[in-house]
Amino acid sequence: MDVIQTAIKGFREFSGIYNFTMGNAVMLVVACVLMYLAIAKDFEPILLLPIAFGCFLANIPAARGAFYSINPEYVRDLTGTVKPTALLDFFYFLVKSEILPPLIFLGIGAMTDFGPLLANPVSLLLGAAAQVGVFVAMVVAKLLHFSLGQAAAIGIIGGADGPTAIYTATKLAPELLGPIAVAAYTYMSLVPLIQPPIMRLLSTHEMRSTVMKQLRPVGKLERILFPIVTTFVIGILLPPVAPLVGMLMLGNLLRESGVVERLSNTAANELINICTIFLSVAVGGSMNAESFLNLRTLYIIGLGVVAFGFSTAGGMLLGDLMWMLSGHKINPLIGSAGVSAVPMAARVSQKVGQQDNPSNFLLMHAMGPNVAGVIGTAVAAGIMISLLGH
């Protein structure tokens, strides 16, 4: 009899059932909802599916013991000596040690066509205007008693750039990495829902129907010089984001040079996919009940919407101004694409524009502010890190 009791007790302690909490149950449901959204509703499945599964795994107590030991204490330990012990810890270590975000930027660079930006350089200003949400969210976060570093990291969600948000969070507020990454990636997939009402509110039918002049073709020399010059300028002005911008521009140079197609293909396909798997599983894994289910997370999720909304509005308002100044030649809808969710935001501009004028094609025009937004978010993050980082 004793033997059986001991066996049951041992099994209870060994298995996850004994440690299962209500929080775990809630998070498992959240994970299932996210998986449903990814698979059935096609909400950015490339990111959301591995995030959701990582979250699922992290909330099975026994599995967490075997695979995963990230907790707030562990995160703090990382600033000192680190000994990753479980599988997901290694993934997380790659995120924390700033290896993955720059590599993902390398891939993004290899996929990005800066042609629309070079053809219409005024896009860069729209990309800057659409960072307004970063600063609004930061001030609001400070009012909600986050520390200055945390507020800055939360604000960067408004840039709508996942890798930059994660990079900033690891530098300024590693303890908030999970919620920030989740908020950033969730809202990126919700861009088609969040943006259109704001875009319609801040423009008239006449503005939205504006047909823009076809973009001029951009020569090869310009395309090759742009990444080199930009790397130099950003690197010398804002050293903290030199790794991010440098990798972005290297990827783009590989693409535009035309002589290293193999490297550029690898960066744009296999490499970025591998990095995305590690990054998203690690981010999902940081969503365990103990560190995720609290008021702070709710604040961050809420602030994410504020940041996104204000960024969209900022881009739209400058777009409106440009529409007036240009003599009704620039469609303000491309301004909202200044949030850097590439290419989702540009697609939204296209769709909203086509509703008002079916034969209008804004997609390529919107790509200019869209890629400018990536640079804008990186610059904003660089200033935050250089002023607040230790």
Partner 1 sequence: MPDTVASSLWLSLVDILVVFAVLAFLMLICLGLRFFSRGSRDEGSTEDEEDTQVDAAAGDEPASELPMLKSLPVIGQDAERLSAAPIMVDAGRPGTDSAFAVGLDEADLGTATAQSHAFRITVNGKAFEVGVEQMAGASPARHIAPAPVARPPAAPVPPPAMSHSAHPTGGANLMRSPLPGKVLKVFAAPGKAFKRGDTLLVIEAMKMENEILAPRDCVVDEVHVEASQSVKTGEPLLRMV
Q: Is 134 in the site for partner 1 (CB under 8 A)?
A: yes
In the chain, the largest separation of any two C-alpha atoms, in whole Å, equals: 90
Binder among 151, 177, 272, 371 for partner 1 (CB under 8 A): 151
Which one of the spans 102-110, 166-174, 287-295, 346-354 is the region binding partner 1 (CB under 8 A)?
Answer: 346-354
Cis peptide before 50 (omega within 30 of 0): no
Binder among 60, 138, 242, 247 for partner 1 (CB under 8 A): 138
Nearest approach, Cβ of residue 21 and partner 1 (Å): 33
Contact between 268 and 110 under an 8 Å Cβ cutoff? The reply is: yes
Q: Could you count the other beta carbons within 10 Å of the beta carbon of residue 92?
A: 29
Helix ranges restricted to H, 41-131 = 45-58, 61-67, 72-78, 87-96, 100-111, 115-119, 123-129
Smaller CB separation from partner 1, 94 or 212: 212
Name the region of 18 (left: φ>0; alpha: ψ -120 to 50; beta: rest). alpha
Nearest approach, Cβ of residue 373 and partner 1 (Å): 10
Nearest approach, Cβ of residue 108 and partner 1 (Å): 13
**Residue that has been written with the tokens 């200055």 in this structure:** 148
Binding mask 102-121 for partner 1 (x = CB under 8 A): ---------------xx--x
What the block records as the tokens of 363 is 């997609």
Residue 209 phi, psi dihedral angles, 5° rounding = -85, -5
Binder among 190, 198, 283, 363 for partner 1 (CB under 8 A): 363
Distance CA 72, CA 51 (A): 19
Q: Is 347 in the site for partner 1 (CB under 8 A)?
A: yes
* Sites of contact with partner 1 (CB under 8 A): 117-118, 121-122, 124-125, 127-129, 131-132, 134-136, 138-139, 141-143, 147-148, 151-152, 214-217, 219-222, 225-226, 229-230, 233-234, 237-238, 343, 346-347, 350, 358-359, 361, 363-364, 367, 372, 375-376, 379-380, 383-384, 387-388
